[in-house]
Amino acid sequence: MNEVTSTNVAREDLYGLAAEFKTTPGIYHAAEKVHAAGFKWFDCHVPFPVHGLDRAMGVKMTILPILVFFGGMAGLLAACTLQIFTNSLEFDIWALVPLVGYQFEVSGKPLLGAAAFVPVAFEMTVLFSALTAVFGTLFLNKLPMFYHPILKHPALTRATDDRFFLVIEARDPKFSRDEVESFLHSLDPETVIALEK
Amino acid sequence: MASVPAQPFDNTGEDPTARSPLILNHTDFGSVTNDILKGNESAKPPKSWYFALAVSFTMMSMLGAMIGYLIFTGVGVWGNNNPVAWGYPIVNFVFWVGIGHAGTLISAILFLFRQKWRTAINRFAEAMTIFAVICAGTFPGIHIGRVWLAYWLFPIPNQMDMWPQFRSPLLWDVFAVGTYFTVSLLFWYLGMVPDLATMRDRSTTKVKQLAYGIASLGWRGSMRHWHRYERAYLLLAALATPLVLSVHSVVSFDFAVSQLPGWHTTIFPPYFVAGAIFSGFAMVMTLAIPARQLWGLKDFITMRHLDNMCKIVLFTGSIVGYAYSMEFFIAWYSGEIYESFAFINRAFGPYGWAYWIMVSCNVITPQIFWFKKARTNIAIIFTASLLVNVGMWFERFVIVVTSLANDFLPSSWGMYEPTWVDVMTFLGSFGLFMTFFLLFIRFLPVLAIAELKAIMPIADPHGQGHSYEEMSMETDEQAKIAEEDE
């Protein structure tokens, strides 16, 4: 892989410009300034969630909790339907289609034993919520994504180790290469790197 | 590893004015990554790792052989009989499920309580949970007799129009343990994704780059991703907390919902949950003590962590001791002759020896942790944790076997003795557990690297004067107001 410097990436190949920081206050204050300058297509690549950085960047609260709520409700509904249908249902649709579950009669217990259905209903609620939380995060984060300009540049591998990168993308309407480059330099980074698409 | 200095610094102090550091001898992020991954990235693991793996693998093969023998011959190879139809398989099932509970307690409940020390032990405790649940799931799976019909446990539409009995606690177990395994696995994996990305970015060979690259899903540390990730992590912790309490409650329903003296008690759910956490923490310590030694993790799993775990063992052990005495009290207080007999028979009947092993290991042993000298002595902690493991296995043995062996009618009493197949299957399950665990510490990030970095003082973006606690006390509303002011 070739070392890409600020000068040798062609204009049409430019993904964005990255500024490298050594400390968390460095990236935090830089992100505040980039947000204040009105950039929309920018991101920070950090080895751990820096506390409050998402707010400094102006990231809106994710809709994930709402998705998880509906996931959990779907689980609850599925569990109740499953149990009632398989164990206690006896129902005809217009006296034509009989729907009959597998009706166990065990020691005189009621077929529709609501209390007995609670544990499975609870477990299924938790299961569906957890699945929604994990797959919802991956979906909203557009992961897995095995090719990305950030993953391509060797210097940015330290974003998962000990360095903090702020990347302004070329597709931002306010992006102009020279201006952004000097703006990033004004944030006092270690280096500024041009990223190839 | 030899270069790791002996710890001159004691971070087990209780002085409230000075915050004890949770990570020793590290002041920058890079060295944390290097030192945690040293065991994974070294060209060859220590010889003791190979030795342990060889032993564990042999034991795991023995488990396979025993299960094969069981399936080809029939459950008669076990000591299970009438009246003791449950025997070893169910004792082992409850034992292993219980072990798993500490992992979820550490990863979820301590997370919600903002116990920052959990970050050093949560990863491998979660791994322990998953491997323990795999061992646990094996036993009821082979206990059903006709193993090839195990799918009858699940609500799968079939040509017989036959469905599981949803009013049976045994079926609740299928759902509880199944959900528990799935959620634990997701929680563990989601937590590991950023660390797998770290390993990917440090890999030197093509195979490793590809393997860790696929496993880390293309994680690139984006703060926009972290934002959702942190939310998902919090939600999973909030979901796993009631889940873990429900799982061992449901396991205890297997007993409590029946009408057998000694089983039919309302104290079972909380008593089982406390016992599960108790045994699980003992297992965490049993694994952590050799792992921190071998993998050079003493700066991360410090004496303070062990000290804290000892306190939890003491606390839960005392709850278990209270539950034992309360069972006895209620048996007498109820005036029920069968119930009273069941408990007197437990302590002084044919299985009295098992009862007293249980009491001495579970109630008396942890009391040593009242003393700080014991909580900071590796040899004592390790011995006590092993004894607790033994004691908790005997607790399940006592509950399962004594109640079944001597119930209402003396004419239908019986005795239970395990066969060699029972014993070797049980030992084999340790092989399965340890094999997974050894492979885990070699090939996966053994500590939560990203989470550990986040609790370092230099991780605070507002300078070192502004502590993490004050930051997290700040509510969203306050932050919004502050933003608007700007």
Question: For residues B88 and B428, is the Cβ–Cβ distance under 8 A?
Answer: no
> Cβ separation of B228 and A62 shorter than 8 Å?
yes
Contact between B196 and B174 under an 8 Å Cβ cutoff? The reply is no
Q: Which of A157-171, B5-19, B248-262, B371-385 has the lowest mean pLDDT?
A: B5-19
Buried b (16+ CB within 10 A) or exposed e, B231-253: bbbbbbbbbbbebbbbbbbbbbb
Distance separating alpha carbons of residues B407 and B416, to the nearest angstrom: 13
Q: Reduce the secondary structure of B22-82 to three states and give it as a string.
A: CCCCCCCHHHHHHHHHHHHHCCCCCHHHHHHHHHHHHHHHHHHHHHHHHHHHCHHHCCCCC
Task: Report the range of poorest mean pLDDT among A13-27, B15-29, B236-250, B332-346.
Answer: B15-29
Distance CA B137, CA B375 (A): 33
AA letter at B476: D
The count of CB pairs under 8 A between chains A and B is 220
Residues of B in contact with A106 (CB under 8 A): 165, 167
**Residue B13 φ then ψ, to 5°:** -65, 155
Between chains, do B231 and A148 touch, taking CB under 8 Å as contact? Answer: no
Specify whether the CB–CB gap between A190 and A162 falls below 8 A. Answer: no
Q: Check CB contact under 8 Å for A28 and B172.
A: no
pLDDT at residue B270, as a whole number: 93
CB contacts of B451 in chain A (<8 Å) are 48
How much is the pLDDT for B192? 95
- Average the pLDDT over each of A92-106, A121-135, B284-298, B462-476 and give the range with the smallest value: B462-476
Report the percent of chain B where pLDDT is more than 90: 73
**Closest Cα in chain A, distance from residue B9 (Å):** 25
- The Cα B216–Cα B169 span in angstroms is 38
Kindly list the domain boundaries of chain B, sorted by start residue. 47-251+430-448, 258-416
Q: Measured between alpha carbons, how far is A5 from B1 in angstroms, rounded to an integer?
A: 38
Question: For residue A68, which residues of chain B lie inside 8 Å, CB to CB?
Answer: 235
CB B47 within 8 A of CB B474: no
Say whether pLDDT at A5 is over 70.
no
The distance between the two most distant Cα atoms of chain A, rounded to a whole number of Å, is 83
Please name the helix (run of DSSP H) or strand (run of DSSP E) that holds residue A61, with its range, or none. Answer: none
- Spatial CA neighbour of A21 closest among A154, A195, A192, A179: A192
Query: Hey, what are B62's tokens?
Result: 């023995």
Residues of chain A neighbouring B222 (CB-CB closer than 8 A)? 43-45, 141, 150
Residue that wins the pLDDT comparison between B8 and B426: B426
Q: Could you tell me the sign of the dihedral formed by the alpha carbons of B314, B315, B318, B319, in that order?
A: negative
Q: Give yes or no for a contact between B12 and B303, defined as CB atoms under 8 angstroms apart.
A: yes
Q: What's the one-letter identity of residue B90?
A: I
Residues of B in contact with A144 (CB under 8 A): 214, 217-218
Length of chain A: 197
A124 Cα to chain B: minimum distance (Å) = 7
For the four alpha carbons of B181, B183, B186 and B188, in that order, the dihedral sign comes to negative
Helix axes B87-104, B420-443, angle to 10 degrees: 20
Query: Which residues, in sequence order, are bridge partners of residue A20?
Result: A165
Element (H, E) at A96: none
Average pLDDT over residues A72-84: 94
What pLDDT does residue B462 have? 84
Report for A68-77, A104-113, A147-156: range of highest mean pLDDT = A68-77
The residue type found at B416 is: Y
Beta carbons of B182 and A130 less than 8 Å apart: yes
* Residue of B119, B160, B223, B230 to mutate for A, most A C-beta atoms under 10 A: B223
- Closest CA in chain B for residue A47: B221
Query: Which residue out of B37, B114, B166 would a mutagenesis test of the A interface target, given it has the greatest number of A Cβ atoms within 10 Å?
Result: B166
- What is the nearest CA distance from B453 to chain A, expressed in angstroms? 7
User: Taking each helix axis from N to C terminus, what angle separates B303-333 and B378-397, rounded to the nearest 10 degrees?
Assistant: 30
Mutate to test the interface with B, among A41, A66, A120 (most CBs of B within 10 A): A120
Min distance A7 CA to chain B CA atoms (Å): 24
pLDDT at position B468, please? 44
**What is the 3-state secondary structure of A113-150?**
CHHHHHHHHHHHHHHHHHHHHHHHHHHHCCCCCCCCHH
Q: Residue B325: pLDDT above 60?
A: yes
Q: Are residues A133 and B235 in contact, defined by beta-carbon separation less than 8 angstroms?
A: yes
Return the SS3 of B146: coil
Give the type of residue at B158: N
| CA gap A182, B182 in Å, rounded | 50
- Report pLDDT for B482: 53
Q: Are A8 and A167 in contact (CB under 8 A)?
A: no
Q: Does the structure show a pLDDT above 90 at A97?
A: no
C-alpha separations of A147 from A152, A165, A182 in Å: 8, 18, 28
pLDDT given for residue B463 in this prediction: 67
- Tokens describing residue A46: 């950090």
pLDDT at B466: 44
**pLDDT at site B484:** 55
pLDDT, tens only, B76-102: 999 999 999 999 999 999 999 999 988
Contact list, A123 vs chain B (CB under 8 Å): 172, 175-176, 178-179, 243, 246, 250
Of the candidates A138, A161, A162, the beta carbon closest to that of B217 is on: A138
Q: Is A167 within 8 Å of A16 (Cβ atoms)?
A: yes
Residue B222 per-residue DSSP state:
B
Mutation test of the interface with chain A: which of B167, B209, B480, choosing the one with the most A Cβ atoms within 10 A?
Answer: B167
Average pLDDT, chain B: 89
Q: What is the pLDDT of residues B216-243, one digit of tens each?
A: 999 999 999 999 999 999 999 999 999 9
Name the DSSP class of B145. S
Q: Do B379 and B412 form a contact (C-beta atoms < 8 A)?
A: no
ipTM: 0.91
Residue at token pair 């999973």: B236
Give the list of residues 6+ apart from residue B25 with CB closer than 8 angstroms, or none.
Answer: B5, B9, B299
Strand partners, A98: A92
| CA separation for the pair B83, B21 (Å, rounded) | 56
Which positions in chain B touch A31 (Cβ < 8 Å)?
223
CB B80 within 8 A of CB B415: no
Q: What does the DSSP assignment read for B7-18? A: ---------TTS
User: Is pLDDT at B473 greater than 50 in this prediction?
Assistant: no
- How far is Cα A137 from Cα B245, in angstroms, rounded to an integer? 25
Q: How many CB atoms lie within 10 A of CB B132?
A: 29
The alpha carbon of B16 is separated from its chain's Cα centroid by a whole number of angstroms, namely 30
Residues of A within 8 A of B28 (CB-CB) are 162
Residue B147 structure tokens: 């193993």
Does the N-terminal peptide bond of residue A173 adopt cis geometry, omega within 30 degrees of 0? no
* Nearest CB neighbour to A161, from listed B29, B227, B228: B29
Picking from A108, A141, A104, A3, the residue whose alpha carbon sits closest to that of residue B228 is A141
On the question of pLDDT at B454 being above 70, the answer is yes
Q: What is the mean pLDDT of chain A?
A: 89
The closest alpha carbon to B398, from B150, B169, B87, B137, belongs to B87
**Confidence band (pLDDT; 50, 70, 90) for B145?**
confident
- Taking the CB of residue B196, how many other CB atoms lie within 10 A of it? 22
Binary contact (B450, A127; C-beta < 8 A): no
Cβ separation A141–B229 shorter than 8 A: yes
Q: Where are the domains of chain A?
A: 11-60+147-196, 64-140
Residue of B nearest to A119 (CA): B172
Q: Are A119 and B250 in contact (CB under 8 A)?
A: yes
Q: Of the candidates B28, B183, B218, which has its C-beta nearest A145's C-beta?
A: B218
B470 pLDDT band, cuts 50/70/90, is: very low
Name the helix (H) or strand (E) containing B152.
none
B387/chain A closest Cα distance in angstroms: 33
Answer yes or no: do B483 and A157 touch at CB < 8 A. Answer: no
Quote the percentage of chain B above a pLDDT of 70: 93
Q: Model pTM?
A: 0.91
